[in-house]
Amino acid sequence: MRSPVVEQAAGHDASHSVIDTSVPQPARRYNYWLGGKDNFAVDRASGDEIAKVFPTVRTMAVENRRFLQRATGFLAREAGIRQFLDIGTGLPTADNTHEVAQAIAPESRVVYVDNDPMVMVHARALLTSSPQGKTAYLEADLREPGKILAHPELRDTLDLSQPVGLMLIAVLHFVHGHGAAAPIVRQLLEALPSGSYLVASNATKDFSPPHIAAAYDAMIASGRTDAWPRDRAEFAELFGGLDLVEPGIVAVSEWRAESEPAPRPTAADVAVYGAVGRKP
């Protein structure tokens, strides 16, 4: 739930987006849940309304962020990945993708993609890099993967003949509709070579008790939440043809979390699936 990367206003190019403080935005709301200051009253009100239905939503935000950091560390340290394409970047906070990767491998190169204009304002924080590596930021729309892949800045930063870590953390659930996210993921992965990885997370109702699941459905129907939940089967479709990295598809709080503080939150507290897969 890091970014409204798929919520560009109709008829407007992403580069001409403006910050709208009258409508809650997922990146700013997520920032609020993480305890940040880059949000407005409308975002806090939306975040509090969701928290009434899902009281552990702040735990969800924190655990999703930690999943991103652990997965990035795995790719850089164990898988030898030196290039990252992070779509749905969200507002900068501690231990962003390039910071985690470059702490392990300073030569790592990272392209961030988002279309929230407030992220663009803060892009300078994302564009800091080790001298050996490089970072870039594109204002673009997840629903147009071809434009992302063809962008000159991406081509100047990443070598798509070499493996890439594709990071889609808490962004695919802004693509609404059963099966709607899989074609986007497939197009992105088709452009990446063997040895590339997909890291993804998505909200789910699978762990929620019936009354919470029903309340979630009501909020989606009324437009009071914009995160489209996916069950395990649909989430697994995103990894079709990939080799899943152990422990496979689990709640983000459970993915290689042995070093995280105990006690760990339950899957129901987090309600987000996460997984990492390698393109053979």
Is 58:48 a contact under the CB 8 Å cutoff?
no
Nearest to 50 by CA among 250, 203, 235: 203
> What pTM, to 2 d.p., does this model score?
0.89
Render pLDDT for 138-155 as a digit per residue (tens, 0 to 9).
999 999 999 999 999 999
Secondary structure of residue 240 in the 3-state scheme: coil
What domains are there in the chain, each with its CATH number? 19-278 (3.40.50.150)
pLDDT score recorded for residue 224: 83
The H or E element spanning position 202 is strand 197-203
pLDDT score recorded for residue 75: 98
C-alpha 261/C-alpha 255 separation (Å) is 13
Q: Which residues of the chain have pLDDT under 70?
A: 1-17
pLDDT score recorded for residue 16: 45
pLDDT score recorded for residue 49: 86
Residue type, 251: A
Distances (CA, A) of 107 to 86, 88, 123, 131, 167: 17, 23, 20, 8, 18
pLDDT score recorded for residue 270: 96
